[in-house]
Amino acid sequence: MAHLDDLTEFLSIPSVSAEPKHAADVDRCADYLVGKLSSLGFSAKKYKTDIHPIVVAHSPRVEGKPTVLIYGHYDVMPIDPIAAWQSPPFEPTVREGRIYARGASDDKGEIMAHILGAQELIEEQGSLPLNVTYLFEGEEERGSYSLQEFLKRPEAQKELACDIIVVSDTGMAAPDVPSFSYGLKGVCCFELEIFGPKMDLHSGIFGGAVANPITTLCEMLATTHDENGRITVEGFYDGVSEIADWEKESWKRVPGMSDAELADLTGVPALRTEKGYTGAECVYARPTFEPNGIVGGYVGEGSKTVIPTHAVAKISCRLVPGQDPVDIMRKVEAHFKKVCPPSVRMKFTMQHAGDAYMSDPHSPFGKVAQRALEETFGNPPVLVREGGSIPVVASMSKLLGKDALFLGLDLPDARIHSPNENMRLDIFEKGIAMAKALLRLMSEVKA
Amino acid sequence: MAHLDDLTEFLSIPSVSAEPKHAADVDRCADYLVGKLSSLGFSAKKYKTDIHPIVVAHSPRVEGKPTVLIYGHYDVMPIDPIAAWQSPPFEPTVREGRIYARGASDDKGEIMAHILGAQELIEEQGSLPLNVTYLFEGEEERGSYSLQEFLKRPEAQKELACDIIVVSDTGMAAPDVPSFSYGLKGVCCFELEIFGPKMDLHSGIFGGAVANPITTLCEMLATTHDENGRITVEGFYDGVSEIADWEKESWKRVPGMSDAELADLTGVPALRTEKGYTGAECVYARPTFEPNGIVGGYVGEGSKTVIPTHAVAKISCRLVPGQDPVDIMRKVEAHFKKVCPPSVRMKFTMQHAGDAYMSDPHSPFGKVAQRALEETFGNPPVLVREGGSIPVVASMSKLLGKDALFLGLDLPDARIHSPNENMRLDIFEKGIAMAKALLRLMSEVKA
């Protein structure tokens, strides 16, 4: 089917934004979008940036109708561990009603659903009933640096001027339960490196006399949470507001998000949540501190009894409204400086950061979006917050002065960021129908 | 010079015992020794084992004279990080009076010094004045499994029957200060692996609800030492005797082993010792717990915000007389089981283990060995214990019923187990002279 051909072609391009070796692939992916949108009559343009290009496309102008800015990202996460993939991540493969490929649900599947939804409207009615601007970036998985810079330029803000922002890079609760999100987590990423001896040391000849950087790194990371799972960094929770009772109530009804269901889905023997909160509450509304990677010393075959020169941890925090990512990184750095012993040297490196965001689910466009979801999926959407982050959305909303709405298609078992990422084909088709309904219904809102 | 040619040829063979890809090189290294010793009139033999061969060689029988068993190992440590080597580890290179190569000081340099010492005696006197048996193994750096098995065989014990065991795989305090060691540390190596979710998880979609295996591994490792640097594993110090006052006194006089000198040599901002002990005391006589490697999650370029499925630490303990390595591993496993939270699964894997050892420095052979060192280096040797381990020595001494003496040539800056391992050429020459003196003086001891 034509829809699947378009999606397969799009998914076949290995647009991994974090790895320099894929730079040309990311660029090729942007060209693909420009070509596809131009063929639909959009004026599509590829903007060069310091890293990866930004694609902006406008539908033919319709006077007196609102303008909707639809945001997505065409870059994808790295693929390792490659051995865990049942089919090659960039050779889209259909198994049991799902298409498996890196980017299938995050975020190429959604982008293609929006494009194909518009395409069907154009094929049926000759043109779109409102003004659509597509904004697709190639750096979301690495921090959206270039789009953040792009948004600061007045001419860019003029070009992206709109009445409402639609983001389709979020989750849905279950195949028959659409999700309408009104919040996103912020994020900050940083590295902590611990330096000990100037060369790898024989653990017999020097062991006991010098600090082991691995031990020290572990001891320092172990100071970040207390026995209740609360983060101990001083001031970490400043400005964090409690979860509203109506939220707690509605989140209890979100399919798949009970503690038992979360444990089953992830395969853990038991959840580990912040004391006093359910898994869903921690995912949607509590900040986190997660080492995403750690390495030090000899990790090859056999054993090598060394005290290594250094050890490093890559860490990210998910943040909630009221927390400033850079302020949080400063507080974390201060915490580590406080607990770092004199027997080692530490290096703290700030990486990318993005604000959390919350919008009003009850605005006119918000209500219309929920109706589009209900029409398409046959059920009213559940109102949730996202555990994930789209760092650039907060800036976009602030700089363009408009709300952002989140209509997601990622199912909990879509394995985004994991091996065997996939999208259900029936959800993909519904995504196309949802995109059509959204444009039709939004065209009736008074801009 | 001929001596250097022999050493260079020996060092050029990449006999890395821990890495399967070097199995043929290890075998070739054993053949080299058989050839070299045969050319000196020894009856030399290569014994096949399950892993790497053992070389045994006997000098022509001299009745009424003692038999000395000289032990060494011809295998070497892995070479990574390769980038840190100034010259290729298996292309021996002389710079400023030192020869740089993996194995230069651990232990090929010592082996060659013993062989060339015997060669000179044979060249000068036509034969050796006593009975010499060489025992060279190829698995010391990976736990001496095959030699341990070999020693259990009665025919092997018969073949290795001797009056005294000489081990030259230990350290010396300074170029002009020979060392006579009377103790070796034991060792045990094991792995701790922590398993969490069944697939790598998006840290936004699930973060806060499930335990992060990296965090948990760090928290568990952080429970192994208290604020005084003491190991908290229950029963860890059972059977460990205090350091004798005469030892503490003599160790204060060991060149290069003051806390300031150790910090300077290793380049650490400050030592981290067990409270109440100097660096030298910790190295020589206190047991240690050292993670030698740790890895988990995403450690590639850029960032990847995942909660990984698992994380693993490779760990080794250096032990002292009174500690049984297997008993210690059981206690460590019990400790980790006690502190492992219900939100993850743990796997503990025992690897190789070896006993600590102590001998009497004042036996007849012990006194003779000290005299050989004094004659060669012009100074009386300092009496020390080794921080390092030669797991097989304790078994050898027990099974053959004879003492083992340790005459070392590894200088503190020889960088054994590290990049740019080296041996001073003047020390190598003195090692040859020491070997000659040792054989001559030992021939006079009443067997």
Nearest to B268 among A84, A197, A389 (CB): A197
Residue A24 phi, psi (nearest 5): -65, -35
Q: Which among B202, B263, B388 has CB closest to A417?
A: B202
Nearest Cα residue to B308 out of B207, B191, B192, B190: B207
Domain boundary among A354, A380, A406: A354
B chain contacts of residue A19, beta-carbon cutoff 8 Å: 300-302
The Cβ of residue A177 has, within 10 Å, a number of other Cβ atoms equal to 18
pTM above 0.80, yes or no: yes
Q: What is the mean pLDDT of chain B?
A: 95
Say what the pLDDT of residue A171 is: 81
Q: What is the reported pLDDT for B353?
A: 87
DSSP states of B311-355: EEEEEEEEE-TT--HHHHHHHHHHHHHHH--TTSEEEEEEEEEE-
Q: Which residue of chain B is at minimal alpha-carbon distance from A217?
A: B218
From CA A272, how far away is CA A225, in angstroms rounded? 12
pLDDT at A1: 65
What's the pLDDT tens digit per position in B259-307? Answer: 999 999 999 999 999 999 999 999 999 999 999 999 999 998 878 899 9
Q: Examine the domain organization and report whether A32 and A138 are in the same domain.
A: yes
The yes-or-no verdict on residue B139 having pLDDT over 90 is yes
Full domain range(s) for residue A61: 4-185+356-442
Catalytic: which of A106, A107, A139, A140? A140
Same-domain check for residues B305 and B431: no
**One-letter amino acid of A220:** M
Residue A389: per-residue pLDDT:
86
Within this chain, do residues B61 and B136 fall inside the same structural domain, yes or no? yes
Average pLDDT over residues A2-22: 96
Cβ neighbourhood burial of A317 (10 Å; 0-12, 13-18, 19+): buried
CA distances from B7 to A146, A229, B105, B166 (A): 58, 58, 11, 20
Percent of chain B topping pLDDT 90: 85
Among partner residues B187, B267, B296, which is closest to A294 by beta-carbon distance? B296
| Cross-chain residue pair B316–A218, CB shorter than 8 Å | no
Instruction: Say if A274 falls within a structural domain.
Output: no
- As given in the structure block, the two tokens for residue B76 are 């070497």
pLDDT at B1 over 80: no
Q: How many independent structural domains does chain B possess?
A: 2
Is the domain of A333 the same as that of A194? yes
Any CB–CB contact under 8 A between B80 and chain A?
yes
Ramachandran angles phi, psi of A352, nearest 5° = -80, 160
How far is the C-alpha of A79 from the C-alpha of A89, rounded, in Å?
Answer: 7
Residue B148 has pLDDT above 80, yes or no: yes
CB distance B69 to B131 below 8 Å: no
Is B339 a domain residue? yes
Neighbours of A91 (CB within 10 A): 12
Could you tell me if B394 and B188 are in contact, meaning their C-beta atoms sit under 8 angstroms apart? no
Q: What is the pLDDT of residue A438?
A: 97
Residues 262-281 (B) with a CB less than 8 A from some CB of A:
262-263, 266-274, 277, 279-280
| Cα–Cα dist B57/B47, whole Å | 11
- Residues B223, B163 share a domain: no
pLDDT tens column, B365-406: 999 999 999 999 999 999 999 898 887 898 999 899 999 999
For residue B336, give the nearest of B319, B324, B349, B318 by alpha carbon: B349
Distance CA A283, CA A185 (A): 9
B447 pLDDT band (50/70/90 cuts)?
Answer: low
- Give mean pLDDT, residues B35-59: 98
pLDDT of B392 reads 87
Interchain pair A290, B305: CB under 8 A: yes
- A361 and A322, same domain (yes or no): no
Query: A407: part of which helix (H) or strand (E)?
Result: strand A404-407
Looking at residue A408, its pLDDT comes to: 85
- Check pLDDT > 90 for residue B146: yes
pLDDT surpasses 70 at A374: yes
User: Does B93 fall in a domain?
Assistant: yes
* Domain identity same for A90 and A117: yes
Residue B253 lies in a domain: no
Are A286 and B225 an interchain contact pair (Cβ–Cβ within 8 Å)? no
User: Regarding predicted confidence, which is higher, B209 or A168?
Assistant: B209
Q: Quickly list DSSP for A324-379.
A: -HHHHHHHHHHHHHHH--TTSEEEEEEEEEE--EE--TTSHHHHHHHHHHHHHHSS
Residues A323 and A202 in one domain: yes
CATH of the domain at A118: 3.40.630.10
Last residue of a domain, one of B300, B327, B354: B354
Clarify whether A249 is annotated catalytic. Answer: no
Q: Which of B272, B278, B286 to mutate to test the interface with A (most CBs of A within 10 A)?
A: B272
How close, in Å, is residue A130 to chain B by CA atoms? Answer: 33
SS3 A15: coil
Judged by CB atoms closer than 8 Å, whether chains meet at B282 and A418 is answered as no
Q: Nearest to residue B385, comparing CAs of B180, B246, B188?
A: B180
Cβ contacts of B377 within 8 Å, gap of 6 or more: B176, B177, B178, B430, B434
CB A87 within 8 A of CB A100: yes
Token readout for A378 is 């046959």
* Residue B75 one-letter amino acid: D
Are A232 and A307 contained in the same domain? yes
Helices of type H across A267-324: 279-285
CATH code assigned at A191? 3.30.70.360
Contact residues for B246 (Cβ-Cβ < 8 A; gap 6+):
none
In a domain, A159, yes or no: yes
Q: Which chain A residues are Cβ-neighbours of B269 within 8 angstroms?
A: 342-345
Given A306, A327, A354, the domain boundary residue is: A354
Chain B residue numbers with beta carbons less than 8 Å from the beta carbon of A283 are 204-209
Q: What amino acid occupies position A287? A: P
In a shared domain, residues B170 and B191:
no
Pair type for strands B404-407 and B164-167? parallel
Would B216 be classed as within a structural domain?
yes
Q: What is the mean pLDDT of residues B49-64?
A: 97
Task: Look at residue B168 in the predicted model and tell me its pLDDT.
Answer: 84
CA distances B374 to A300, B130, B176, B180, Å, are 42, 21, 10, 10
Does residue A297 sit at the B interface (CB-CB below 8 Å)?
yes
Confirm whether A32 is domain-assigned.
yes
CA distance linking residue A250 with residue A173, whole number of Å? 12
The answer as to whether B270 is a domain residue is no
Which residues contact residue A249 at a Cβ distance below 8 angstroms, ignoring those fewer than 6 apart?
Answer: none
Q: Are residues A229 and A368 in the same domain?
A: no
Q: Among the options B107, B139, B140, B410, which is catalytic?
A: B140
Co-location of A84 and A38 in the same domain? yes
Residue A251 has pLDDT above 70, yes or no: yes
